[in-house]
Structure 1
Amino acid sequence: MAELVVIGFDDSEEADRVLTELNRLQKEYLVDLKDAVIAIRKGDGKVHLKQSVSTIGIGAASGGLSGVFWGMLVGLLFLNPLAGLAIGGVIGSGAGALAGALSDYGIDDHFIHSLADTLKPDSSALFLLVRKAQPEKVLEDLAQFKGHVLRSSLSPEQEKRLEDALSGKTTHP
């Protein structure tokens, strides 16, 4: 089961730096992120979201592959497999991109927007869906960043340890 963690930052660029560090930790197999979204509230009050997973790209790729397969199969029936391959690939990519644009992956977009609307101007938040993590090592690396937990599905003890690490307090397991 994945855990939801939302961390707020007083700086509009700090969430990007934290996500970069978490991606590095993911390559070292210390954390496994299912989804991550950065919300940045600009000085004018507008909220900008950065999704870590492009559902449009994934949909276009998978739709294109299935379109190529089915197009070639239909093309074989009409003795023109190359035309079927090309037409099927184009139609499949378009349909897959549309399906990807309409789908919601990971963290609910309505939840992200409702919480991002409460951010102060020139601040950011990092929405994480964490499959698993090595807490001691991850918290040690996150201690260099200053933030505060806005929401989480962690236990009260785990949330306190994360909050302490983000506020610069030392934590002990």
Structure 2
Amino acid sequence: MSSEPVAAPDLEEARRLLRTYLRDHDSGALAGARRFGSAAQGHRDPQARAELTALHAEVEQDRRSLASVMQRLEITPDPLKRLVTAAGEQLGRLKPNGFLAQRSPLTDVVELEALTMAVTGKQRLWETLAALGPEITLTDPDELAGLRDRALDQRERLGRLHAASAAALATG
């Protein structure tokens, strides 16, 4: 085994990789926002619906922040990735849930788990951009820290909603 250090990619290669990475996150953010909207409309608990509606608005703001980063870097969304991701998100709603004509009580729990995973991915996006540095991302580190902190707050709020939804399974 060679102990030689791996050469860091040059700026051009880093930007090429970043373009792919941001396009992937852009398509995921679109699907995630749609899922937040769906969960906000369909959750069984009215207080949870209100919190999910607020979270959905924040997620849309985060999508605009990502679009701004991409615009600064002259990266356009990939329409094919967006289409495939949106189709996958739609197909995910068709899964059998044991109930023919109504929403399963498990749906709230499973949706909150999926939303938590989406927010965790978004948190990691902001952390990755911060690690790359402003010379590559053309993004203010304080802006990225604020976006990361908002993602952490969103995860905590989703965690509370998940705990309440899971507990509601026991009470019917």
- TM-score normalised per structure 1: 0.26
- Please tell me whether Structure 1 or Structure 2 has the larger radius of gyration of its CA atoms: 1
- TM-score normalised per structure 2: 0.26
**Structure richer in strand, relative to its length:** 1
**Structure richer in helix, relative to its length:** 2
